[in-house]
Structure 1
């Protein structure tokens, strides 16, 4: 059994990572920006089947402040930096603030881990740090690819994730002597929701189920199940071969929104009665973008397939993700079960 710190312990991915660690018999510490998040965090872990009692504690530590990190990290063998922070009240387009919290938060966690004698840190990065800012590839992206933050169409989130991961690797080259680093780079993460606080990816499935999307733009997404992302974190934490490596987390080729909608209809029957069936021509989406902000967001992605390969994680770590269809349906079924979809 090891002692492991998980940052952002109330988040969607972090909750599943904590559950995976507890199942493996590890002692878990989880950081929270504020301790008023502990009760809902414990509730979603209980919903996910966490044992009672569990070797689990919560500690206050903000990614933009030094206080609390040395206490949270003390005696830990590993740290999993899963938090994907958006400061309270920050506008989605506030690029400078988003980059600051992502980059500074990552460096603060690494510094605290090094000071505490942590063996290895696993940072949750993103496909956003891999596949953007250049002309889309015809084949599959792999871990050698990096987003060009100065390229065309790179948004604030993509730039922040890229700069944060770059900063992590630069830290290891300079100040990380004696400590190891690995990163996990997921595509769009679906899977079972454990509570009412949802990620943007889960909200997309809810919008389809609620009929909030009347028709589908020709947009493609890489998908992966959150339970498999959690499993990859645990493997990257302990496998000797993972030190100094990046690992893409994806089920395979990107799938269209139309295919996601079809999976929901085929798998849920009447519960998917509001899911749209019609795929809009690109011209119609471009015209709608003149007046609708949601359509405007889709325009740069129309018809573009950015697919990643997880061969490295499969061959190096023995990772075996669920099919995309299982992740889609698990998402939908959990949202329905939690009463988060229109009756």
Structure 2
């Protein structure tokens, strides 16, 4: 640490910006990729909101997931790569390849460039999407040993994350010494730094703003973005992390009705618009007939709970995440502070 240079791909993203902030706080030199150098001021704003001063230790490089140009310069002289950049659309495309190609080819582009530059280790941001879909819900907690079946009827996003991670592991098998570790987060919550909101953050925003009259009986894993960033760095520096996957979840899955109760209990009047009623499953299914996104993302999850284990990250890396409740409250407080809820 101190002289080591870390490349973070996608530094303008929610997780990418927090990874940059944590690395700078820990004393690393950092380079981050953005699709255009015009985004450099945006990243600096995000870092200021995170309370971090780059102090001359942050540089920028233009690189795109869909183009080879820029990648050799981005990885030049780099010791480690955190590959957090990946497409995540607000609405699932009808053509899965719109997500699969940039996710898979972008990961391979970053890995190929890293290998050619002599990078020691790459930490790839995958997702629980590559672990817990395409098969019947397990009656035990999901772990890193589980894999999504990409040939089953799964969403384009789930398929893209699964195929991208599979391609990365296949690539590293012949990468000649370069190491790979993978982090598989569940829904990422925590302090928002800008106005571009991920789908997980939008859940809390919609609850806080009263945009939904009642909460459906669906559940999600929860993890604070700061803890996901910390896990990436632990996976980067811990020798035994090489060749391993790490499921990043603060605890077990949490239902939306429970999330609403936590926000009410912890935030009081600020959470006055958060719904207190639970939406009957039949109402959700009927609404799904007229809303494609609801039909794809919510209806299949009604009443199903995917239990989660973070034992491996805790035991192998000493990872100590914040609680589900603290991650949710931090999300809501940051949305209020930014005037977004």
**TM-score w.r.t. structure 2 length?**
0.96
| Pairing 1:136–2:137 present | yes
Tell me the distance in 1 between the aligned counterparts of 2:252 and 2:65.
34
Alpha-carbon distance in 2 for matches of 1:136, 1:120: 33
- Measured in 2, the distance between the counterparts of 1:331 and 1:217 equals 20
In the alignment, does 2:163 pair up with 1:163?
Answer: yes
Whether contact under 8 Å (1:90, 1:97) holds in the other structure is no
Change (3 A) 1:294 1:269: farther
- TM-score normalized with structure 1 length: 0.96
Residue 102 of structure 1 and its aligned partner are, at CA, apart by: 0.2
* Aligned residue runs from structure 1 range 111-130, under 5 A: 111-130=112-131
Maintained 8 Å contact 2:218/2:298? yes
* In structure 1, distance between residues paired with 2:323 and 2:279: 26
SS of residue matched to 2:309: coil
Alignment map for 1:226-245 (pairs within 5 Å): 226-245=225-244
* Distance in 1 (alpha carbons) for counterparts of 2:340 and 2:288: 28
For 1:127 and 1:85, the matched residues in 2 are separated by 15
Q: In structure 1, what is the Cα distance between the partners aligned to 2:278 and 2:92? A: 31
- Provide structure 1 residue ranges, at least 5 long, that are not aligned to the other structure: none
Kept in 1: contact 2:86–2:106 (CA 8 A): no
Q: For residue 273 of structure 2, what is the aligned residue in structure 1? A: 274
Counterpart of 1:93 in structure 2 is 94
Q: Which residue of 1 aligns with 2:20?
A: 18
CA distance in 2, matches of 1:91, 1:139: 29
Alpha carbons of structure 1 residues 212 and 90: separation in structure 2 relative to 1, 3 Å: closer
By how many angstroms is 1:24 displaced? 1.2
Quick check: 1:8–1:31 contact (8 Å CA) kept in 2? yes
Deviations 1:253-308 (A, max 9, x none): 11100000111111111111111111122122212222344542311000111122
Deviations 1:104-142 (A, max 9, x none): 000000000000000000000000000000000011010
Counterpart-to-counterpart distance in 2, 1:21 and 1:52 = 10
Question: Deviations along 1:29-78, whole A, 9 cap, x unmatched?
Answer: 00011112111111001110112524001110111111111111000000
The 8 Å contact of residues 24 and 54 in structure 2, kept in 1 or not, is answered as no
Partner of 2:333: 333
**Cα distance between partner residues in 1 of 2:329 and 2:32:** 29
Q: Report the counterpart of residue 103 of structure 1 in structure 2.
A: 104
Matched with 1:30 is: 32
User: What is the number of equivalent residue pairs in this alignment?
Assistant: 338
CA contact (8 A) 2:88 2:157 kept: no
Question: Any runs of at least 4 consecutive aligned residues in structure 1 with deviations exceeding 4 A, and if so which?
Answer: none
Q: After alignment, is 89-98 or 110-119 more displaced?
A: 89-98
Distance 1:128 1:67, change over 3 A: same
- Cα distance change of structure 1 residues 54 and 253 upon mapping to structure 2, 3 Å threshold: same
In structure 2, C-alpha distance between the alignment counterparts of 1:166 and 1:64, rounded to whole Å: 18
Other-structure match for 1:313: 313
Does the Cα contact within 8 Å between 1:19 and 1:50 map onto a contact in 2? Answer: yes
User: Which residue in 2 is equivalent to 1:149?
Assistant: 150
- Is the contact made by 1:218 and 1:280 (CA closer than 8 Å) also made in structure 2? yes
Match of 2:83 in 1: 81
